[in-house]
Structure 1
Amino acid sequence: MTSFPDSAGSSGSQADLGNALAQCLTYAADLPWGSQPTLFALVPTAVLAAQAPGLVDPDDDSALSPVVQETDTDDLEQLLTTVSWPPQVVGCALVTEITLLPPDAEADLDAALEPLLADADAADEAARRAAHAHPDRRTARLAAGVLRNGKRVALLALREGDAQATDLQTHPDLAPNLLDSLAETLHA
């Protein structure tokens, strides 16, 4: 991972984090559907411009810049339990694909899981298969991000054909476990 000068004074606001997540989703929109999760360090744009001026557009007035991190796994649990950030990185974000189901699909998932509850891995796999087979499923990209100052945002971009929707959605209860896991990487 790239090293940056100390940026402790630049923590970012909720809006700054939301703008950085929108940039992460713009980056992911160029990737094919089915790609592995993409991890980003969030760095103050002024710090990045000072360190690597060629990477930042002189007209870029955004507070935070996402910096893509190379990863070699699509296992989110493994990734998020092994990554840590230097103090100069003020936040992190992850973009991953998820499957959304309508509320009435819970009965279908319960039926698929009930015989497998003793084996967590088998139950997870059965839930994935049932979700992907559900006729009313929707695919989306989820961007979740956290800052060291405690700000947290998750954005959702639905899949429309082979493209990613430009209309982003959020909710205060969107992806709380993923946000918690990302926050842990900042304190590791």
Structure 2
Amino acid sequence: MTTGAGEEQAAALPAVAREIEEFIGAEGWDQPAQIFALVPTSELLAAEPDLAEQLDSEAALTPVAQESLPAEDLAEALARVSWPDQVTGCALFQEIVVLPPEAESALPDEDEAARTMAAEHPDRQEARLVAAVLRNGDETCVMRLRDGANEDELVQDTSLAPNLLQALRDTFNP
């Protein structure tokens, strides 16, 4: 059970994930995967007081963009990520292809073949996904589909990317 600052950060996690999705979304579609460090805003302001005008001092967490990650080797790239103690959590943005369950079950086991088949599937939908975790185990995912009718709708559900959430949690393991 989290307490104090941990509870505040856990409560702020979904809002931070939405903030990241909106930040990336402002650049449009077809953006590279990007990882963000999540740091306590109060600690960031204490270390960098010149940022006071740029940050929401009321926010429990501030996302700090890191370098883009290669989409084709995302698992390998995440396996090399580690964080200093000041980083309370992390989030990953990536664009994905969403398939209906029956199409997903028909994908081949080989990654490249599965990616090709998914990209060419007539029922595919493109989406932006943000998965975020805190060191204490709290997690969230948000997703926006790329289709004109529902593009304003943001889905929030941790079951959207359980493997990705685990990979992000693993970045905090030594």
TM bracket, shorter-chain basis: 0.7 to 0.9
Determine the structure 2 residue equivalent to 1:70. 67
What residue in structure 1 maps to residue 21 of structure 2? 25
Match of 2:121 among 134, 157, 174: 134
- Residue 103 of structure 2 aligns with which residue? 105
Whether the 8 Å contact between 1:13 and 1:151 is mirrored in structure 2 is: no
Q: Deviations over 1:97-145 (max 9, x none)?
A: 11011123246x34xx2xxx5xxxxx21111111111111111111001
Q: Deviations over 1:50-95 (max 9, x none)?
A: 2223334465411100000124633211211101000110000000
Alignment of 1:182 with 2:168, yes or no, is: yes
TM-score (norm 1): 0.79
Residue identity opposite 1:34 in structure 2: D
2:37 to 32, 41, 46: 41
Task: List gaps (5 residues or longer) in structure 1.
Answer: 1-8, 118-122
Q: Secondary structure at the match of 2:37?
A: strand
Root-mean-square deviation over aligned CA pairs: 2.2
Count of residue correspondences? 167
Q: Which moved more, 1:142-151 or 1:168-177?
A: 168-177
Match of 1:120 in 2: none
When Rg is computed on C-alpha atoms for both structures, the one with the higher figure is 1
The question of 1:150 aligning with 2:137 is answered: yes
Question: 1:50 corresponds to which residue?
Answer: 46
Identity of aligned residues (%): 43
Distance 1:55 1:140 in 2: 32
Distance in 1 of aligned mates of 2:55 and 2:120: 47
Partners of 2:100 and 2:20 lie apart in 1 by 26
TM-score for the superposition, normalised by structure 2: 0.85
What's the counterpart of residue 11 of structure 2? Answer: 15
Q: Distance in 2 between matches of 1:58 and 1:106?
A: 41
| Separation in structure 2 between the aligned mates of residue 106 and residue 166 of structure 1, nearest angstrom | 25
Q: Deviations over 1:1-25 (max 9, x none)?
A: xxxxxxxx84344321111111111
Task: For 1:152, give the aligned amino acid.
Answer: E
Gaps of 5+ in 2: none
- Residue in 2 that maps onto 1:4: none
The match for 1:90 is 88
Q: Give the whole-Å Cα distance in 1 for the aligned partners of 2:49 and 2:113.
A: 48
Report the counterpart of residue 6 of structure 1 in structure 2.
none
